[in-house]
Chains A and B, each alone.
Chain A
């Protein structure tokens, strides 16, 4: 796959995908780009913000409340975790445990701890627990990206 970029002053950001055939890989790519433009509304300190999906590191459900974590901010959202899961799957934000979704683009590494738990380290150094059941999901996303 070839990637070309060019600056076009005064024009909105436009992505053109040239493809020989419309296959799964092309569809995934288009879905992923579309998903990057999506936002989720979240509130912080009484103000409502539109949080870009690509800025989300992970989302967590704590005591029936859902929080979105970006590099420096935490936002509370009205959406349930399963609703976010459905919305954000194509953007590479997938479930890693019962109460947590992780943006695979923000993943730095994964390791197995002594007690057999799996620990994901994000690019900002934060650590999250990954349930084994969801390890395949991370693998599949990275496999898709490597195709």
Chain B
């Protein structure tokens, strides 16, 4: 339930931000802060595309999967950030740091979710066996 509420919260926040900045763009033109918001939306779209394709290719080894995903996304963020002038030549490595800041908590969160799912599955299997034994 909390997960669903959080998901809806972020989605709703995204819609509010895009609507507010779109109206600002129409009224005051493309200011740097408005451009940044749109750049983040474009980045987010392409990162999601990358994540989708990485998951299609490799999916059994989660650690390998997440490392490949991390490097793919980092390289994309680096190139994209360089293109839209987020990073200077000297601090190109910041892309890897920013992506790691997002990916490390996601990794641990995913581990916790998977552990919870496994515990649930094993509990249901145990209950089913007990039920079968009784009948």
Contacts and interface: CB of A to CB of B under 8 A. Distances in A.
B22 to A, nearest CB: 34
Interface of B: 55, 59-63, 110-111, 114-115, 117-118, 120-122, 124-125, 127-128, 135
Contacts of A116: 61-63, 111
Nearest to B120: A139
Chain A, interface SS category: mixed
A92 to B, nearest CB: 11
A145 B115 CA distance: 21
B118 A97 contact: no
A98 interface: yes
B128 A109 contact: no
Contacts of B59: 97-98, 131-133
Contacts, number: 60
Interface residues of A, number: 26
Contacts of A129: 60
B114 A142 contact: no
Given A133-B55, A135-B114, A145-B128, A110 B61 contact: no
B125 A107 contact: yes
A103 B55 CA distance: 23
Interface string A136-147: 101100110110
